[in-house]
Amino acid sequence: KQEVTQIPAALSVPEGENLVLNCSFTDSAIYNLQWFRQDPGKGLTSLLLIQSSQREQTSGRLNASLDKSSGRSTLYIAASQPGDSATYLCAVRRGGSNYKLTFGKGTLLTVNP
């Protein structure tokens, strides 16, 4: 059974700092991995999708990497801003004919002005 873990559960940083969020998964037979952000009381917004054959994806100040063999992904946020404050979730889509998606429990990020 696929398990997804995100560490740390919460992170507080001053504005302008570069930071890394971690996601690990137990079964490396994945199809892709997606990073989301969730604002309080809101739905999920997709940030980046990495296919299993890719090593990284970039969008603006965000960079996500994937090391499938070690079961790890990181989300790098450059020059953090208070507007980045949210919960960040990673989700792994299992391989094969399975369409199931497994989420981590998220990292609550607070960026202080």
Q: Residue 53: count other Cβ atoms within 10 Å of its Cβ.
A: 9
Task: Provide, rounded to whole angstroms, the least separation between the CB of residue 37 and other proteins.
Answer: 11
Q: Which is nearer to other proteins, 31 or 76 (CB)?
A: 31
**Least distance from other proteins to the Cβ atom of residue 68, Å:** 16
What is d(CA 15, CA 72) in angstroms, rounded to the nearest whole number? 26
In this complex, which beta carbon is closest to other proteins, that of residue 91 or of residue 111?
91
H or E, element range at 87: strand 86-94
Residues found near other proteins in the complex (CB under 8 A) = 31-32, 34, 36, 42-46, 49, 51, 89, 91, 93, 99-106
Give 42 or 112: the residue with its C-beta nearer to other proteins. Answer: 42
Residue type for position 38: Q
Please check whether residue 87 is in contact with residue 38, taking contact to mean a CB–CB distance below 8 angstroms. Answer: yes
Closest separation in Å from C-beta 36 to other proteins: 8
Alpha-carbon distance of 90 to 106, in angstroms, equals 7
